[in-house]
Structure 1
Amino acid sequence: MAKRDFLTLKEYTADEIRLLIDDAFLLKRLRQRGRFTLPYLSGLNVAMIFEKPSTRTRASFSVAVYELGGLPIPYSAQELQLSRGEPIKDVARVLSRYHHAIAARVFRHSNLEELARFSSVPVINMLSDLHHPLQALADYMTIKEKKGRIDGVKIAFVGDGRDNVFNSLAIAGVKLGAKIRVATPRAYAPDPEILGNDVYSKIEVYEDPADAVEDVDVVYTDVFVSMGQEREREERFKAFLPLYQVNSELLKKVGREDFIVMHCLPAHRGEEITDEVIEGEKSIVFDQAENRLHTTKAVLLYLLNPNWSKTKEL
């Protein structure tokens, strides 16, 4: 079987994304029934490279590999020779001789692409500056769980239109038939080169978040200053605050009662979202976080054991 990577959701069809979400629901049901361990990655091990700190990704990915019968082996950038200048292509060729897959959380997406180019085993994006596909899968699993569907669901993302989470949310959403809106300052508008013209042409861009959230099913936000953007902190705060904060006043503009509020976490409470909202009845952020585990399992099985016996587990 030819190697398949998981770097963005551009390379995956709508049917493949739906299959991953369906598998994640099955894996979640099994876990809820007490099936915490499954043998489908027995004897396999996965390298996990972290250039950036992580809570949800490290925890969910490690548990996912372990509960599927495999061995997760985490590395910080400082533990590898990358920190001393070893070329990425050399690290890729060495680690892929030892491991059955390599997952990486990186500052630059181009480094992830190089890792994949020289690795002989699947490479999985645990986050880059441009894309966060594992998060998008968990987001759409959670939307389907809460709203009963994805096709036709209206989603308003409020914040940075070039955010890695938004990019993956938009790419997957357009493929799955969701209606994607983004409210963002003009200087932070989505990049058609990153999204692709087929996605970019189908999203709606607003400068006023009150217009973007009107009559939507989902209000989504992320931090205004991501890791690696600390030098832009003051400039970004001037651009985003106070207009683009998701607070109770903005949510009044939705104009319906059955909407939900999402955030990929970690949240900077009092910046992009208020404590009142994230702790409120509309917030489903911890369900999102939980579903990272189940969608990660689905991706691992799709790449490493696509013929896992689902029927035996039903």
Structure 2
Amino acid sequence: MIEMKHFLSLANLSSKEMHMLINKGIAIKKNPSRFSSKLKGKTLILLFDEPSLRTRISFEAGMLQLGGHAITYHLSESTVGKKESPKDFSQVLSRYVDIIMARLYSSEMLAEIARNSRVPVINGMTSAEHPCQVLSDLMTICEKRGKLKGLKLAYVGDGLNNTTHSLLYGCSKSGVDVSIGCPKQMMPDSKVLAKAKEFAKIHGSKVHVTASASEAVSGSDIIYTDSWMSYHVPHNQEKSRHKILMPYQVNKQLMKHAPKALFMHCLPAKRGAEVTDGVIDSKASIVYDQAENRLHAQKALLLWLMKK
């Protein structure tokens, strides 16, 4: 089988490729009509095993705005993993479409689909990583701050989640210092952390993990948080997680430790839990620009994978 370029993890993307995609996303945002027929006649399929708003709409709209066509398919309607193997599913599906985006809980199933696909596969999100989100986050930071290298991003909350892992990869490779403030029982995956530290040495950035939210955010340029109820966390754990994570809530008091910092959240946000209204609705908040940039960064990604 011919080796195919996929987008499964920021760990597999070079720093040069990452910056190219960020710059391409910014160019597309400035002049979308220039790219409006680049994927004419091409078909993207979106695979989901959970309901989605931002991922689905941004990819559907992005493909249409590039002149192509998007099909959304829910795996609850499929026999994959039941009567049909992921290998057979991928082999057949990739003969019908030009590119695949899969938002799946299982990283293993995503990898199996990519291994057997004849077309590029995009990781729309798994329980382990969220690379599309962080690619667009880096684009947003670059827009707002004019650069990436030398900045400090602080993430506070649940450190053992997909967004944190992709932030560790993306920031360490782009020269952004990243500081994680999280409970000791919710630290990032040790393998991800070790790999991010290796990338940081190469690209001149720093990776730091602490149990202190105020220490993590001190002097940062960006303060980032995410939902406390990560993908597939049982709802009966909500109260206990809330109690553990409450010291990591992003509120006005925490923001005082970095008075010039911008606030980011990949959404959806539970106001009053991981962030207060006073922060998410403040002038420091760039969450809606961040959400919009999913569209532009993913259009850049589609064009790159389709070699357009």
- TM range, normalised to the smaller chain? over 0.9
State the partner residue of 1:240.
245
Cα distance in 2, alignment partners of residues 176 and 166 from structure 1 = 15
Deviations 1:139-176 (A, max 9, x none): 01110111111001101000111211111111011111
**What displacement does 1:69 show?**
1.2
Question: Is this contact kept in 2: 1:153–1:217, CA < 8 A?
Answer: yes
* TM-score (norm: length of structure 1): 0.91
**What displacement does 1:85 show?**
4.0
State the partner residue of 2:284.
282
- SS of the residue aligned with 1:97? coil
- SS of the residue aligned with 2:76? coil
State the partner residue of 1:223.
227
**What displacement does 1:290 show?**
0.5
Cα distance in 2, alignment partners of residues 90 and 96 from structure 1 = 10
Distance change in 2, residues 1:36/1:49 (3 Å) = farther
**What displacement does 1:86 show?**
2.3
**What displacement does 1:214 show?**
0.9
Distance change in 2, residues 1:184/1:54 (3 Å) = same
- SS of the residue aligned with 2:70? strand
**What displacement does 1:36 show?**
7.8
Cα distance in 2, alignment partners of residues 54 and 5 from structure 1 = 22
| Runs of 5+ consecutive residues of structure 1 not aligned to the other structure | 309-314
State the partner residue of 2:192.
194
**What displacement does 1:37 show?**
6.0
Cα distance in 2, alignment partners of residues 198 and 102 from structure 1 = 27
Distance change in 2, residues 1:2/1:88 (3 Å) = closer
Name whichever of 227-236 and 92-101 sits farther off: 227-236
Letter in 2 for 1:157: Y
State the partner residue of 1:204.
208
Matches within 5 A, 1:118-157: 118-157=116-155
Cα distance in 1, alignment partners of residues 90 and 126 from structure 2 = 17
Name whichever of 78-87 and 107-116 sits farther off: 78-87
| Runs of 5+ consecutive residues of structure 2 not aligned to the other structure | 201-205
Letter in 2 for 1:20: L
Distance change in 2, residues 1:85/1:158 (3 Å) = farther
**What displacement does 1:114 show?**
1.0
**What displacement does 1:230 show?**
2.1
CA RMSD of superposed structures (Å):
1.6
Deviations 1:259-300 (A, max 9, x none): 100000000111111122111111000000000000000110
Name whichever of 196-205 and 63-72 sits farther off: 196-205
Question: Is this contact kept in 1: 2:255–2:261, CA < 8 A?
Answer: no
State the partner residue of 1:111.
109
Letter in 2 for 1:284: I
Aligned residues: percent identity? 39
State the partner residue of 1:12.
13
- SS of the residue aligned with 1:48? strand
* TM-score (norm: length of structure 2): 0.93
Cα distance in 2, alignment partners of residues 196 and 4 from structure 1 = 25
State the partner residue of 2:180.
182
Q: How many equivalent pairs are there?
A: 300
Cα distance in 2, alignment partners of residues 175 and 127 from structure 1 = 20
Letter in 1 for 2:96: Y
State the partner residue of 1:66.
64
Question: Is this contact kept in 1: 2:169–2:196, CA < 8 A?
Answer: no
Letter in 2 for 1:140: L
Cα distance in 2, alignment partners of residues 223 and 114 from structure 1 = 28
- SS of the residue aligned with 2:45? strand
Letter in 2 for 1:209: A
Question: Is this contact kept in 1: 2:196–2:207, CA < 8 A?
Answer: no
- SS of the residue aligned with 2:46? strand
Question: Is this contact kept in 2: 1:262–1:285, CA < 8 A?
Answer: yes
Question: Is this contact kept in 2: 1:248–1:276, CA < 8 A?
Answer: yes
